[in-house]
Amino acid sequence: MTGRAPSGRVFALHAAVILGLLILNFVLPEYHRGVFSRVLVLAAFAMGYNILFGYTGLLSLGHAMFFAAGLYGAGLPVYHLDWSVAPAFIAGIVSGAVLALAIGFLALRTTGVAFMIVTLMFAQVFYLITLFFTTYTRGEEGLVIRQDLRHLRMGDLDLALTDPSLRYLIALVLFSAVLIVTLFIVRSPFGRSLVAIRENEERMRMLGYNVFTNKLAAVVLSGAFCAASGAAYALLFGYVGSGFASIQYSILPLLWVLLGGAATTLGPLIGTLFMFYIVDFTSGFMPAYLLVVGAALILLILFFPKGILGSIRERWAPWLP
Amino acid sequence: MAFGPYLLLATLEGLVMAAVLALTALGLSLVFGVMRVVNVAHGEFFMLGAVLAWWVSSLVSGNPAIGFLLALIVSPLIVGAVALVSERLVLRRLDYKPEATIVATIGLLYIIQQLVLTFYGPEARPVVAPFDFRIRLPWFGYSSYKLAVIAASILLVLATWFVLTRTKIGLVMRATQYDGEIAQAFGVPVDRVYAGVFALGAMLAAVAAVLIVPIQQAHYLMGLDPLLLSFIVVIIGGLGSLRGTVVAAVLIGLSDGIISVFFSPTLAKIIATSFVALVLVFRPQGLFGAETR
């Protein structure tokens, strides 16, 4: 950490990013607006992952389970019980947070490599459970939530979540909320103690901090963000399937955060956006998008371990949060 | 069929699985033990071994035994070479940092998988077993090839054990495992040991895959299950402990074989996976491992 960041510049930057994204809604062609809606929702997933991986220094290989907990927590009640959108969204976040509390309580007893494998194993259990209860989840094939169920009703207001512009704006609201909360956390004493735990856990313990409680709070917060992203994904795009709980969706947020820059507030957005367009671009002349993912992972970890924003912060803008 | 013979059949099937699993997990355990690297691409080395076995045996016409034996030699060598190259080009440059190597081997996993899909295709293809007469037991006939797989695996595990405990190479490897820096100070070429161990681990997986491919067809997604099962075996056996790995492989192979016969395989996997996660949480040294240093 290089001293206290100048607040004005930081707030101006984040406000400008959100404003810019708002303007894009009216400028972007239809196809790209669809891509951006998805990217904004998934960037919230990546930001949730970043809280744990970037700031707290805990590499989880199982975050797909939190995303999927939100996805199913919101999707299943809508599909089977005809819940309306708002309570379903909250149910999604709550399921993710509760799951994160339980998993964090167990997994945080381990460190390093064991933590990665334990989270991987728990996520695999979650994935297998979604396959096991295939009567309700329809496994890999998944559920498609009917369009008429995806309406947000408040008083006389009736908003169809299937409308592209509204969908983009709601995705932007979710993204901005997570971004602002992240920024707030990062600048708070709590956020600074997370970074301190990442840098030197023993020392923090010696200074009298409760390391376990702080880490657990980070896991729950991270799980809740990822679940919010999953819940929004289910409600906005109307599809809920086991694929989102598979290992691949635990790896993707790691890739996005690494690419954009771990422990930067805007890195996850940049990483998600870049990766989406790299895959989009390459799939034009070769079908092998996993090859791109694999190569990107290796090249990043070899030559760019700090990611895009991390490198910019190191060279030119040490004030970036 | 009565319950007794049924159980015997399930046990035999479980033993075949345990035989293959023991070899695969041994490779993973060796790499983790000596290099402290969690090789997520291990399952893909297994898959590559199986696919190459199909390729090699399809080049040879005539007696299927010739093609199979050729595959048993060529396929592990190619896989070992691939592992060696990726170790030199990637892992070594990362200084074997645990988190960085996990990310890099995940990348390797995707690359190998996608290349195999591109050049080999999405089909599952069989390799003809070198011999396949049925041994008549009082209750049912059983494939002699499957029994041969069990025997071959026992031989290979014994050979690995012999190399590790009775030869100079094994001594050098154990010294590196015990303390890399001190070993270096005593003139052990630690760098080359790492390269060799990584290639050896991948080759063990490839041999296991060649042995299984006449029973289970070669497919580009076949690597995930052996990877997760090897993780399970290595963790229960204690990370880096060879004896524990073998015992755990037999235990997991047998119980998986028997549970899958009587219950739903998905449920069996759910139980095994959560059990392992909890073992890792509450007994990080494994069920059979000693306390770590």
Burial (CB count within 10 angstroms: exposed 0-12, middle 13-18, buried 19+), residue B31? buried
Mean pLDDT for the stretch of residues B31-38: 86
Q: Does residue A224 contact residue A96 with C-beta atoms inside 8 Å?
A: yes
- The confidence score (pLDDT) of residue B1 equals 60
Q: Is the pLDDT of residue A120 over 60?
A: yes
Q: Is the pLDDT of residue A18 over 70?
A: yes
Residue A121 inside a domain? The answer is yes
- Give chain B positions within 8 Å (CB) of A120: 231
Mean pLDDT for the stretch of residues A193-222: 90
Q: Considering just the CA atoms, what is the radius of gyration of chain B in Å? A: 19
Domain of A228, in residue numbers: 9-246
- The confidence score (pLDDT) of residue B290 equals 55
In the stretch 110-129 of chain B, residues with CB closer than 8 A to chain A read 110-111, 113-115, 117-118
Q: Is the pLDDT of residue A2 over 50?
A: no
Residue A140 inside a domain? The answer is yes
Residue A161 inside a domain? The answer is yes
Cα separation, B17 vs B212, in Å, equals 9
Range of weakest confidence among A127-131, A146-150, A226-230, B288-292: B288-292
- The confidence score (pLDDT) of residue B199 equals 94
Residue A145 inside a domain? The answer is yes
Q: Is the pLDDT of residue B155 over 90?
A: yes
A298/B104 touch (CB, cutoff 8 Å), yes or no: yes
Q: Is the pLDDT of residue B293 over 50?
A: no
Q: Considering just the CA atoms, what is the radius of gyration of chain A in Å? A: 19
> pLDDT by residue (tens digit) across B216-259?
888 888 888 888 888 888 877 876 677 888 888 888 888 877 77
- The confidence score (pLDDT) of residue A175 equals 92
B109/A294 touch (CB, cutoff 8 Å), yes or no: yes
Q: What is the ipTM of this complex?
A: 0.80
- The confidence score (pLDDT) of residue B268 equals 76
Could you tell me the two tokens for A29? 């062609």
pLDDT: which is higher, B286 or B10: B10
A297/B103 touch (CB, cutoff 8 Å), yes or no: yes
Q: Is the pLDDT of residue B101 over 80?
A: yes
Q: Is A133 an 8 Å CB contact of chain B?
A: no
Amino acid B54 reads W
- Give chain B positions within 8 Å (CB) of A288: 114-115, 117-118
Residue A306 inside a domain? The answer is no
Residue A183 inside a domain? The answer is yes
Range of weakest confidence among A11-15, B91-95, B279-283: B279-283
- The confidence score (pLDDT) of residue A319 equals 79
- Residue A287 Cα distances to A224, A281, B113, angstroms: 34, 11, 13
Number of domains in chain A: 1
- The dihedrals phi and psi of B218, each to the nearest 5 degrees, come to -80, 130
Q: Is the pLDDT of residue A1 over 50?
A: no
Could you tell me the two tokens for B184? 């270096």
Cα separation, A212 vs A201, in Å, equals 10
- The confidence score (pLDDT) of residue A286 equals 65
Q: How far does chain B reach from its first CA to its final CA, in angstroms?
A: 51
A121/B98 touch (CB, cutoff 8 Å), yes or no: no
- Residue B27 Cα distances to A102, B40, B160, angstroms: 33, 12, 10
Q: List, as one string, the DSSP characters of chain B.
A: --HHHHHHHHHHHHHHHHHHHHHHHHHHHHHHHHH----TTHHHHHHHHHHHHHHHHHH--S-HHHHHHHHHHHHHHHHHHHHHHHIIIIIGGGTT-HHHHHHHHHHHHHHHHHHHHHHH-S--B----S--PEEE-SS-EEEHHHHHHHHHHHHHHHHHHHHHHHSHHHHHHHHHHH-HHHHHHTT--HHHHHHHHHHHHHHHHHHHHHHHTTTS-B-TTTTHHHHHHHHHHHHHH-TT-HHHHHHHHHHHHHHHHHHHHHS-HHHHHHHHHHHHHHHHHH-TT-SSPPPP-
- Residue A289 Cα distances to A210, A272, A282, A285, B24, angstroms: 43, 15, 7, 10, 28
- Residue A80 Cα distances to A237, A244, A264, A284, angstroms: 17, 19, 39, 38
Could you list the beta-strand ranges (E) of chain A.
143-144, 151-154, 157-160, 239-240
A30-50 vs A211-237: helix axis angle to the nearest 10? 160
- Which pLDDT band holds residue A303 (cuts at 50, 70, 90)? confident
Q: Is A59 an 8 Å CB contact of chain B?
A: yes
Mean pLDDT of chain B: 85
Q: Does residue B279 contact residue B263 with C-beta atoms inside 8 Å?
A: no
Q: Is B235 an 8 Å CB contact of chain A?
A: yes
> pLDDT by residue (tens digit) across B44-78?
999 999 999 999 988 887 788 888 889 899 999 99
pLDDT: which is higher, A36 or B141: A36
B277/A116 touch (CB, cutoff 8 Å), yes or no: no
Select from B103, B270, B281 the Cβ nearest to the Cβ of A110: B281
| Percentage of residues of chain A with pLDDT beyond 70 | 95
Select from B111, B264, B276 the Cβ nearest to the Cβ of A121: B276
Q: List, as one string, the DSSP characters of B130-175.
A: S--PEEE-SS-EEEHHHHHHHHHHHHHHHHHHHHHHHSHHHHHHHH
Residue A136 inside a domain? The answer is yes
Select from B100, B109, B235 the Cβ nearest to the Cβ of A117: B235
Residue A143 inside a domain? The answer is yes
| Percentage of residues of chain B with pLDDT beyond 70 | 96
Mean pLDDT of chain A: 86
| b/e sequence A133-162, b meaning 16+ C-beta within 10 Å | eeeebbbeebbebeeebbebeeeeeebebe
